Structure 1
Amino acid sequence: MSNTIDLAEQSPMSIGSEAASMTDRSTLPTPARRPGMRRGVDSCDNLEPLFAGLAQLDHADEQRKLLRETLICRCLPLAENIARKYACRGENFEDLLQSARVGLVLAVDRFDPDQGVPFPAFAIPTIMGEVRRYFRDCTWAVQVPRRLKEIQQAIGPAIDRLFQRLGHTPTAAEIAAELDSDLIEVTHALIARNGYRSSSIDASFGNGGDYPPLSMLDTLGGEQPEFGLVEDRVAVRPLIEALPEQDRRVLLMRFFDFQPQARIADSLGVSQMQVSRRLTGLLNDLREQALRD
């Protein structure tokens, strides 16, 4: 039987004295020497004596490093089991496993056997928290504020509870009341959910018929030069509204009613030359103000 099992059967004080007296590294268990060691979550059972011995060793002691490594290796199946519970969410399993192992290392370093809590009861929330942090910080396709990520994670369970209670899909206001959050933040979080996943515009899709598959890029329209006219109209409209009434009338008759200058002149009781000069001056003034603004 391996030295790891022998240590587990001893008292905390004997573990500390024995570990401190070890001078030959080969007498300590290492990841390569684990014959007969149990696999699965139950491999984390009865580790408190080992942690008690670990606490008695100096941080610079080589024997402490080896004992810490043994504890981590023995609990690796626990981290793997937790990572597999989250593997159905579409993320790469290796990334989830790496995050779970980081959480395991944190749990080993933070565990205090004097608190009287079994190590799995302490390690499982720590590991799950690290995996959830990975989902929160590393899996979004679009950068989203942390606050919205936290609300977004709570929205799913809240919707399920409200649907069971109300019998219909809850509104944003009902979700905000359930979470005791601001309605604007909840609304932004609901919109932000669309940024969790992204699709390539080069990805092909088709209906399986006689037509060749198309990419999203093929279905997008081209540039519309008329969009620039919308911006120009938004910029010029308040400037036109600020003009004197007669100047606005001249512009409306010429560019909205499409009346010739001669008819505008007759309507105002002036000459066509005066109308032409007034239009030229108005357009130049509007252009200068719009560009300046």
Structure 2
Amino acid sequence: MADEGPRGDPGPSRRHRGTDSYDNIEPLFGKLAALPEGDPDRADLREEIMRRCLPLAEHIARKFAGRGENYDDLLQVARLGLVNAVDRFDISRGSSFLSFAVPTIMGEVRRHFRDNTWSVRVPRRVKELQLNLGPTIEILSQRLGRVPRAREIAAELEIDLVEVTQALIAGNAYQASSLDAPVGEDSESTALPLVESLGAEEPSFGWLEDYLAVEPLLGELSERERQVLRMRFFESRTQSQIAEQLGVSQMHISRILSRTLGWLREQALRD
């Protein structure tokens, strides 16, 4: 289990055991630990360990490729993580080097994404979670035979659904799109820049704003007031039909509607 990658992803040694140059490298760390700091052979042995473990850094860099960052840059960051892993690994603890190096290198790459590659400011928690989505979605897709739903991803990561949704949306913040980038064609099949498709008014936005302004206020209404509003605007009943249903006069329903709508309008505009 020591070589298992994040969320059950088999680590490099499990997939390539017996073929990679970093297999069974622990004896070299034993020799390195036995050499005193000033021994001239220490630097050569450290360099040999680094050379043999370079494929591990390349493997991890490839895992993060295709997320809006140049592979060569990712490789440099992964190699830096490898250097840190080699220098910090303690052979006396009895664990394998891979079980220590893989999370160390991946952590370095994740920090690079978190701190350097977002074109829009995103909270750190969302950045870190977004980087976990790719491997989790891949695992669930293989398990379910389809693209997982956000709720299934949340259950797999044992986090709130809202956090998953935020992280999925945050994936669009890796790179900003140029307003001059062609995204469509006109009637003459001429490529049109993105800016030409922006600026159209979306009528639903107004309804959404009204809903967000009024929805919290509905809880403060009486049951009768909410009932009248529901029958009038969601069931499309007339005032006379509502009055007959509730056993009151049409004038009484008119007063309830006028008073309730006036109060909602006043509170929404005030807030």
TM (norm. structure 1) is 0.49
CA radius of gyration, larger in:
1
In structure 2, distance between residues paired with 1:85 and 1:51: 26
For residues 98-141 of structure 1, the C-alpha deviation after alignment (integer angstroms, 9 at most, x for no partner) is 12111211111122222333333432332233233333333322
Is residue 21 of structure 2 the alignment partner of residue 43 of structure 1?
Answer: yes
Is residue 98 of structure 2 the alignment partner of residue 100 of structure 1?
Answer: no
| 1:59 matched residue in structure 2 | 37
1:58 touches 1:64 (CA, 8 Å); kept in 2? yes
2:68 touches 2:174 (CA, 8 Å); kept in 1? no
In the TM superposition, what is the alpha-carbon distance from 1:221 to its structure 2 partner? 4.2
| 1:71 matched residue in structure 2 | 49
In structure 2, distance between residues paired with 1:80 and 1:54: 24
- 1:181-220, aligned counterparts within 5 Å? 181=159, 185-207=163-185, 210-220=188-198
In structure 2, distance between residues paired with 1:160 and 1:53: 39
In the TM superposition, what is the alpha-carbon distance from 1:175 to its structure 2 partner? 6.2
In the TM superposition, what is the alpha-carbon distance from 1:71 to its structure 2 partner? 1.4
Amino acid at match of 2:181: A
Amino acid at match of 2:27: P
In the TM superposition, what is the alpha-carbon distance from 1:148 to its structure 2 partner? 1.5
In the TM superposition, what is the alpha-carbon distance from 1:88 to its structure 2 partner? 4.0
Tell which has more relative contact order, 1 or 2 (C-alpha 8 A, sep 6+): 2
In structure 2, distance between residues paired with 1:183 and 1:79: 33
In the TM superposition, what is the alpha-carbon distance from 1:93 to its structure 2 partner? 1.0
In structure 1, distance between residues paired with 2:29 and 2:59: 22
**What is the aligned counterpart of 1:86 among 42, 64, 75?**
64
Is residue 117 of structure 2 the alignment partner of residue 139 of structure 1?
Answer: yes
In structure 2, distance between residues paired with 1:187 and 1:43: 41
**What is the aligned counterpart of 1:150 among 111, 125, 128?**
128
Structure 1 residues not aligned, in runs of 5+:
1-39, 223-293
Shift >6 Å, 4+ stretches: none
Distance 1:209 1:160, change over 3 A: farther
Please give the secondary structure, in 2, of the residue aligned with 1:214: strand
Please give the secondary structure, in 2, of the residue aligned with 1:197: coil
1:159 touches 1:175 (CA, 8 Å); kept in 2? no
Amino acid at match of 1:93: Y
In the TM superposition, what is the alpha-carbon distance from 1:73 to its structure 2 partner? 1.7
Of stretches 151-160 and 124-133 in structure 1, the one that deviates more from structure 2 is 151-160
In the TM superposition, what is the alpha-carbon distance from 1:196 to its structure 2 partner? 2.7
| 1:128 matched residue in structure 2 | 106
Amino acid at match of 1:139: T
Amino acid at match of 2:172: N
In the TM superposition, what is the alpha-carbon distance from 1:91 to its structure 2 partner? 2.7
In structure 1, distance between residues paired with 2:137 and 2:40: 50
Please give the secondary structure, in 1, of the residue aligned with 2:185: coil
The alignment-based identity, stated in percent, is: 56
2:186 touches 2:192 (CA, 8 Å); kept in 1? no
Amino acid at match of 2:126: L
Distance 1:125 1:204, change over 3 A: same
Amino acid at match of 1:79: A
In structure 1, distance between residues paired with 2:53 and 2:43: 16
| 2:237 matched residue in structure 1 | none
2:140 touches 2:148 (CA, 8 Å); kept in 1? no
Distance 1:72 1:160, change over 3 A: closer
1:54 touches 1:68 (CA, 8 Å); kept in 2? yes
In structure 2, distance between residues paired with 1:78 and 1:113: 18
The count of residues paired between Structure 1 and Structure 2 equals 182
In the TM superposition, what is the alpha-carbon distance from 1:94 to its structure 2 partner? 0.3
In structure 2, distance between residues paired with 1:124 and 1:168: 27
2:61 touches 2:78 (CA, 8 Å); kept in 1? yes
In structure 2, distance between residues paired with 1:41 and 1:146: 38
Please give the secondary structure, in 2, of the residue aligned with 1:205: strand
In the TM superposition, what is the alpha-carbon distance from 1:185 to its structure 2 partner? 4.4
Amino acid at match of 2:104: T
Structure 2 residues not aligned, in runs of 5+:
1-17, 201-271
